[in-house]
C-alpha cells in the first residue's frame, strides 16, 4: 500500500538530445560539403540578415554557421554545464518533494503505518534525513546538540553513570558522540536500522524492560498521530521516581505556539515538569521526571499538531 515508485511522474524531462544531435549532424555534414569561401559568404549573408533583423527589433537569430569549431565547442560545453545545473536544480526540487511527502506521512498517520512505509522502502530513511538536515541547517542551534551538552555536563564530566534511550534517534548522533564514554550508555531506536547504532523499533512498543532507563529523549520525534502512546511507553521503561523525560519539539506545533500547555498537560500522564526552556526561536526544550501514577494515564487534548513543511 505504501510502496512508492519515486520515478513515477517525477522523473526529470528527457533531454532533447537526439533531435539536437540530428540537427548538429546535418549541419556538420552540410558544412563538410561547403568550401571555406562558401562558408564565408554564407556567414556574411547571415550577418547582414542578422543586422537587418536587429534593426527591425526582431529576436536574435541563431547563426551557428559563422562560428568557429572552437566557439561551437565552447557553446556545447556551456550547454552541457547549464543542463547539469538545471538537472541539479530539478534533483533538488525532487528530493525536497520526496522529503515533504515522507514527513507528512510520518506526522499524519499512526506509527504502525510509518513502520510499514519504511519497511517497504527503507531507502526513504536516507531521503528523509537528507531533507531534514537541509531543513535545520539554518536553525541557530540543533536541539540534539543541546541534549549532548546536557549529557556531557551532567554525567560524563561528573563521571556519573546513566542509561539513555534516544527515541526516534534519526542518525543516532547522541549514541555516536558517546560511543567511547565510560559513563553514558545510549540505546537508539528508530524505524530503520540505518547505521550500527540504531535499533529498528516502533517507539510506541520498545523492546525494553519496565523501569530500567534513566533518561528517555524525544528530540523532534513525537511524530505520528499516536504520539501519546510514545510517552506512555517512555513512562513504562523509565525508572520509578528518578527516570527523566527530555523532549524537544518545534514551537509552531504547539496549540499555544510555545509549549507551556504541553508542560502543563503532561502531569496527566505521570510526568512532572522540572524545566522549560522557551528561549530558542525554533524549538522548546522540556525536562520532566517520572512520578508515581495512582490511575491510568489520561488522554491529552489536541495540543500538538503536525509539522508540515511548505514548498520553498
Ligand X SMILES: C[S@@+](CC[C@H](N)C(=O)[O-])C[C@H]1O[C@@H](n2cnc3c(N)ncnc32)[C@H](O)[C@@H]1O
Question: Which is nearer to ligand X, 42 or 134 (by Cβ)?
Answer: 134
Question: Which is nearer to ligand X, 191 or 263 (by Cβ)?
Answer: 191
> Which residue's entry shows cell 524537544?
248
Min dist. Cβ of residue 282 to ligand X (A): 12
Stretch that binds ligand X, among 70-78, 93-101, 200-208, 283-291 (CB under 6 A): 200-208
Quick check: 270 and 291 in contact, CB under 8 A? yes
The helix/strand/coil state of 186 is: strand
Stretch that binds ligand X, among 3-11, 57-65, 71-79, 220-228 (CB under 6 A): 220-228
Options 203, 245, 266, 269; binder of ligand X; rule CB under 6 A: 203
Alpha-carbon distances of 237 from 119, 127, 168, 230, 233, rounded to whole Å: 25, 31, 15, 11, 7
**75: which residues sit within 8 A by CB, 6+ positions away?**
67
Q: Give the total of residues touching ligand X (CB under 6 A).
A: 19
Question: Interface residues for ligand X in 82-141 (CB under 6 A)?
Answer: 106, 111, 114, 132
Options 224, 243, 259, 270; binder of ligand X; rule CB under 6 A: 224
Using the rule CB under 6 A, is 223 a contact of ligand X? Answer: yes
Q: What is the radius of gyration, based on Cα positions, of the chain?
A: 30
Min dist. Cβ of residue 170 to ligand X (A): 3
Using the rule CB under 6 A, is 168 a contact of ligand X? Answer: yes
Beta bridge partners of 272: 289
| Sheet architecture: strand order including 215-219 | 198-200, 184-190, 162-167, 215-219, 244-250, 283-290, 271-277
Q: Which residues bind ligand X (CB under 6 A)?
A: 106, 111, 114, 132, 144, 168-170, 189-191, 202-204, 219-221, 223-224
Amino acid at each position: 500500500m505504501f510502496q512508492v515508485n519515486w520515478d513515477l511522474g517525477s522523473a526529470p524531462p528527457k533531454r532533447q538530445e537526439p533531435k539536437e544531435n540530428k540537427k548538429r549532424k546535418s549541419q556538420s555534414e552540410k558544412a563538410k560539403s561547403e568550401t571555406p569561401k562558401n562558408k564565408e559568404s554564407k556567414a556574411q549573408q547571415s550577418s547582414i540578415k542578422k543586422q537587418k533583423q536587429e534593426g527591425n527589433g526582431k529576436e536574435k537569430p541563431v547563426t551557428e554557421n559563422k562560428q568557429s569549431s572552437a566557439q561551437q565547442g565552447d557553446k556545447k560545453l556551456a550547454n552541457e554545464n547549464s543542463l547539469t545545473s538545471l538537472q541539479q536544480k530539478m534533483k533538488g526540487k525532487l528530493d525536497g518533494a520526496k522529503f515533504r511527502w515522507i514527513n507528512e506521512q510520518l506526522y499524519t498517520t499512526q506509527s504502525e503505518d510509518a513502520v510499514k512505509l519504511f519497511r517497504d522502502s527503507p531507502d526513504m530513511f536516507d531521503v528523509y534525513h537528507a531533507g531534514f538536515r537541509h531543513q535545520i541547517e539554518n536553525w541557530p542551534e540543533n536541539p540534539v546538540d543541546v541534549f549532548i551538552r546536557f549529557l556531557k555536563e551532567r554525567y560524563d564530566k561528573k563521571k556519573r553513570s546513566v542509561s539513555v534511550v534516544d527515541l526516534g534517534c534519526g542518525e543516532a548522533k547522541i549514541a555516536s558522540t558517546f560511543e567511547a564514554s565510560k559513563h553514558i550508555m545510549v540505546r537508539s531506536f528508530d524505524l530503520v536500522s540505518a547505521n550500527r547504532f540504531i535499533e529498528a523499533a516502533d517507539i510506541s512498543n520498545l523492546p525494553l524492560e519496565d523501569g530500567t532507563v534513566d533518561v528517555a529523549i524525544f528530540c523532534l520525534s513525537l511524530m505520528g498521530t499516536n504520539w501519546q502512546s510514545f510517552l506512555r511507553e517512555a513512562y513504562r521503561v523509565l525508572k520509578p521516581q528518578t527516570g527523566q523525560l527530555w523532549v524537544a519539539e518545534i514551537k509552531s506545533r504547539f496549540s499555544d505556539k510555545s509549549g507551556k500547555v504541553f508542560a502543563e498537560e503532561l502531569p496527566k500522564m505521570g510526568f512532572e515538569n522540572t524545566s522549560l526552556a522557551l528561549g530558542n526561536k525554533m524549538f522548546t526544550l522540556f525536562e520532566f521526571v517520572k512520578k508515581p501514577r495512582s490511575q491510568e494515564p489520561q488522554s491529552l487534548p489536541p495540543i500538538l499538531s503536525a509539522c508540515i513543511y511548505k514548498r520553498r
